[in-house]
Chain A
Amino acid sequence: MSHHDHDDHGVSRRTVLECMTWAGTGVLWTISGGVPRSLGLVDTANAAEQATGLTFLQISDSHVGFDKPANPNVSGTLEEAINKVKLIPSKPSFMIHTGDISHLSKASEFDDADRIISQAKLDVHYVPGEHDFLDEEVKFYKERYGKGSRGAGWYSFDANGVHFIGLVNVVDLKAGGLGNLGAEQIEWLESDLKGRSKSTPIVVFAHIPLWTVYPQWGWGTEDGGRALDYLKGFGSVTVLNGHIHQVMQKVEGNVTFHTARSTAFPQPAPGTAPSPGPMKVADDKLRGLLGVASVNFKMGEERLAIIDTPLQG
């Protein structure tokens, strides 16, 4: 991307988006204009120190209730993740949870998740995963987390000059298709963005990736492109998703796409296994594949930093 692009959209400020990912291997990547550059750990520390403005956390795919070999104690690893959150020196402003709070939408699973997540003592903004709509009457998610939201649970809010949009792409899925937002939600998105200054940093979060990661496994959103059309022209757009239980990232123009780790179990890289199901790894490897992400905006520079931190390693 270039200044010229932004000038076309009337954005005066330089809006290069930088994204830093600590991928758990001790490597820090800076991505500027789509070109990744390794920085090293010292710079990680510097980046963290310099960080001012808005910091929030992303947590995803807790799957409370899952008890299969890939991780028989998902409540335990969720608790470890929350304990890590509690140790962050400068308190984040809030947390977003990108869905699959529970495994089977049982009241007891939501109760356990709430009990553990609330220990972080942070506001949590949720969007649902497909595992959160499995109760007979499909009411638990909406009752617990959907207050003030529209449709199946979409909404927006503002924090420190950043506009946050929580979307739902896990309902009314069509045979043979991918994730689905639906016409009503996309119309709402259009009206939500209408008249908003193009220099407003936008963060969109939803469960299933809004970009096509791997359609053979359903990792994408059928009408995600339509939603992203309305985000064209904004100087800084960040799309945060879960669902695929691994860190994956792409920069396209002004849009950074990023998926977070699960706190419950890892899933294989696209196409590397017969199915996207839970991946059983050696016990001492598990915590290197689970974790949370922290996201920081440096206001004035429209710079976004995402740091993925595994539970261990």
Chain B
Amino acid sequence: MKRRDVLTRGASLAAAALLLPLAGRKARAETMTVSIDNFTFTPAEVKVKVGDTVRWTNHDDIPHTVVSAGKFRSKTLDSDDSFTFTFAAAGDYTYFCSLHPHMTGMIKVE
């Protein structure tokens, strides 16, 4: 019994240690939006947490794409089409429009 208590308590503490920092920051994952207007990603840089989702929506009269080499690639987004991606790992994700490569942006995942 005693040994089990210790184990349980230990596990609880470990779980609490893992959960606390996350819980302290926020309750659940969020969705951030990036707008595509006038051949520009706005905002050009977005900071999110691991588990958050980013949604890009194309408001131009011309199709665009959202591509981060080796990480994610949207289909061609016609006017008012959206693309979402959920970030499971921390890091800096640079991305661009593969049709208009002067359009670039960055998602910083912490």
Contacts and interface: CB of A to CB of B under 8 A. Distances in A.
Contacts of A68: 61, 79
Contacts of B67: 175
Interface string B23-53: 0000000000000011110000000000000
Nearest to A136: B75
A130 B99 contact: yes
Interface in B53-110: 60-63, 67, 69, 75-76, 78-79, 94-96, 98-102, 104
Interface residues of A, number: 26
Nearest to B60: A277
B39 A276 contact: yes
B39 A175 contact: no
B78 A104 contact: yes
Q: Which of B60, B95, B100 has the most CB of A within 10 A?
A: B100
Contacts of A175: 67, 69, 94-96, 101, 104
Which of A105, A130, A217 neighbours the largest number of chain B CB atoms within 10 Å of its CB? A130
Interface of A is mostly: loop
A275 B60 contact: yes
Contacts of B75: 136
Given A68-B79, A134-B76, A278 B61 contact: yes
A219 B63 CA distance: 17
Contacts of B96: 175-176
A215 B102 CA distance: 8
B102 A176 contact: yes
Main secondary structure of the interface of B (DSSP, over half): loop
B102 A217 contact: yes
B64 to A, nearest CB: 10
A185 to B, nearest CB: 17
B61 A173 contact: no
Interface in A251-295: 274-278
Contacts, number: 58
A178 interface: yes
Contact of A218 (B37, B60, B101): B101
A69 B62 CA distance: 12
Contacts of A177: 101-102
Contact of B39 (A66, A136, A174, A277): A277
A69 B98 CA distance: 25
Contacts of A95: none
A70 interface: yes
Contacts of B99: 130-131, 134, 173
Interface in A93-147: 103-105, 130-131, 134, 136
Nearest to B100: A218
Interface string A187-230: 00000000000000000000000000001111000000000000
Contact of A70 (B61, B78, B95, B98): B61
B38 A104 contact: no
Question: Which of A176, A216, A217, A278 has most B Cβ within 10 Å?
Answer: A176
A43 B39 CA distance: 42
A37 B63 CA distance: 40
Contact of B101 (A103, A174, A277, A278): A174
6 contacts: A104-B63, A130-B99, A134-B76, A175-B69, A178-B101, A218-B101
